[in-house]
Amino acid sequence: MGNIDLSITTLAPIEPENPVMGANEEATAWALREKNYDTASTRFDIERAQWRVSNRKCLMIIKGSISYAIRISITDFPTASKYLAKVKSQFTGSSKASAATLAKQLMTKKYTDGPGGIRDHILQMSHMANKLKTMDMPLPESFLVQLIFKSLPKEFATFRVNYNTFLENWDIEKLIGMCVQEEDHLWHANGGELVFAVQ
């Protein structure tokens, strides 16, 4: 699988032009041009063979990784990069719809005490924000922190007020640490039980 992405990251090698001896060209100059052409031609043959192997493998992997319904709707292309470009162009509209759905889920997500606890909840929201970033909808980390606070139940109201009194802004790692600590405090304060009222 060495150089597997060669055909995607590099343009296909161009064959060197076959030299033609000029009318007034000296024999030594012609011999040098012929030698340079032979070297370039040999290098081209090697690079073309490597590029073709990479292209064939990439096409096999791409076609084997997508569903049959998508595969039959796309015309065959000779190169992996053109095939990927066609896939991308067909899914531009659906990616916008996915981004809108994902943004709505992120804005309306609420925390209920699940198997992974509050850490898992924050990581899920962070993952949603990262997916939006790949769809050209990046969210500032401070805004994501506020969304996460908004998603927490009323039992965390005092905790949120305390956060607002701090001068510093927390990043996601700090927020996870502090929220896990607060959840543990609430768990002990309620006699080892947490039942959050979802608003």
Q: Looking at per-residue confidence, does 156 or 70 come out higher?
A: 156
Only one residue has tokens 């081209």, namely 44
Query: To the nearest 10°, the Cα dihedral for 79, 83, 86, 88?
Result: -120
Q: Looking at per-residue confidence, does 197 or 142 come out higher?
A: 142
Over residues 53-66, the mean pLDDT reads 91
Q: What CA–CA distances, in Å, run from 66 to 6, 72, 87?
A: 21, 10, 10
Furthest-apart CA atoms within the chain: distance in Å? 100
Please give the full DSSP string across the chain, using - where no structure is assigned: -TTTTHHHHSPPPPPPPPP---TT--HHHHHHHHHHHHHHHHHHHHHHHHHHHHHHHHHHHHHHHS-HHHHHHS---SSHHHHHHHHHHHTHHHHHHHHHHHHHHHHH------TTHHHHHHHHHHHHHHHHHHTT----HHHHHHHHHHHS-GGGHHHHHHHHH-SSPP-HHHHHHHHHHHHHHHHHHTTS---PPP-
| 13-52 pLDDT tens trace | 999 988 888 888 888 888 898 899 999 999 999 999 999 9
Q: Is the pLDDT confidence value at 136 over 70? A: yes
Instruction: Report pLDDT for 47.
Output: 93
Q: Domain locations in the chain? A: 6-90, 94-189
- CA-CA distance, 59 to 146, in Å (whole number)? 44
Task: Give Cα 188 distance to the centre of its chain.
Answer: 40
Whole-model pTM over 0.85: no
Over residues 163-173, the mean pLDDT reads 86
Instruction: Report pLDDT for 199.
Output: 44
Over residues 90-106, the mean pLDDT reads 78
